[in-house]
């Protein structure tokens, strides 16, 4: 029978990677529901510029934001904690989640390769990256990631999947050989692809935990 542990607050994000390594639970459910959680604070002018664009995107109605602020903060935390040099994102949308990755990549000296099939959203993402001052950290690849992923030659430290749910198993198949040992594959809306969920939960070479209700974080074991 599956068991779950619920951890609330900022500690949830802080223990996520450790949970992947040390827990023997089938599912780890982490919740951000901490009262009075402080807004992100900037430690530099460069970080302040990115946070300003993120705030403006939310203030403008949140169209195509792709993830919540809470999930964005988890993506940033995991990426920076991993010291990631190369992040691959499938499903750029307008760049909201990508900006959270860029906050981490400013610190790690890494780069984001992000795939978007919709031309309009890809164009808006490029504008948002430039406005935030991180356009040199992010490469937006326009087109179908099912075909375009084959062009990625550089090893991947963190991969994020948030695109067509029926395509999740194929994305996983293509990403696994490209993600290095100790790397992470993160999938939003995990429960919308039962085939993907089963693949990451039942592969002995992987360890998967779930943040909240549907953000799957998979470690490729060393």
What's the pLDDT at 63? 66
Going edge to edge, which strands form the sheet with 206-211? 4-8, 27-31, 206-211, 215-220, 179-187, 156-161, 86-90, 111-116, 138-142
b/e per residue, 146-162, with b = 16+ CB within 10 A? bebbeebeeebbbbbbb
pLDDT on residue 197: 98
Interatomic CA distance for residues 94 and 119, integer angstroms: 10
Give the pLDDT band (50/70/90) at residue 37.
low
pLDDT averaged over every residue in the chain: 87
* Per-residue pLDDT at 62: 63
* pLDDT tens digit sequence for 79-101: 999 999 999 999 999 999 999 99
The pLDDT value given to residue 68: 92
Gap between the Cα atoms of 125 and 114, Å rounded: 10
pTM attached to this predicted model: 0.84
Instruction: Report d(CA 109, CA 85) in Å as an integer.
Output: 6
pLDDT digits (tens, 9 = 90+) for 113-140: 999 999 999 999 999 999 999 999 999 9
Closest alpha carbon to 8 in 39, 29, 28, 33: 33
Of all residues in the chain, the percent with pLDDT exceeding 90 is 77
Note the pLDDT tens digit of each residue in 168-190.
999 999 999 999 999 999 999 99
Q: What is the per-residue pLDDT for 39?
A: 77
pLDDT tens column, 64-82: 778 999 999 999 999 999 9
Q: Which residue has the higher pLDDT, 56 or 40?
A: 56
For residue 61, the model assigns a pLDDT of: 74
Q: Write out pLDDT tens, residues 24-34.
A: 434 444 443 44
């Amino acid at each position: 029978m599956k068991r779950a542990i619920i951890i609330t607050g900022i500690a949830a994000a802080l223990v996520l990677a450790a949970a992947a390594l040390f827990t023997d639970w089938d599912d780890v459910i982490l919740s951000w529901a901490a009262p009075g959680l402080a807004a992100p604070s900037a430690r530099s002018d460069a970080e302040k510029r990115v946070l300003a664009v993120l705030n403006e995107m939310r203030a403008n109605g949140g169209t195509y934001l792709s993830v919540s602020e809470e999930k964005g903060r988890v993506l940033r935390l995991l990426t920076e904690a991993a010291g990631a040099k190369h992040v691959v994102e499938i499903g750029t949308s307008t760049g909201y989640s990508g900006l959270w990755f860029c906050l981490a990549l400013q610190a790690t000296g890494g780069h984001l390769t992000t795939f978007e099939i919709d031309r309009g959203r890809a164009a808006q993402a490029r504008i948002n990256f430039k406005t935030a001052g991180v356009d040199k950290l992010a490469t937006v690849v326009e087109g179908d990631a099912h075909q375009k992923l084959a062009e990625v030659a550089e090893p991947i430290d963190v991969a994020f999947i948030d695109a067509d749910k029926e395509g999740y198993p194929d994305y996983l198949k293509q990403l696994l050989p490209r993600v290095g040992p100790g790397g992470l594959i993160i999938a939003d809306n995990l429960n919308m692809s039962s085939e993907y969920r089963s693949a990451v939960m039942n592969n002995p070479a992987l360890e998967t935990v779930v943040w909240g209700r549907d953000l799957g974080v998979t470690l490729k074991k060393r």
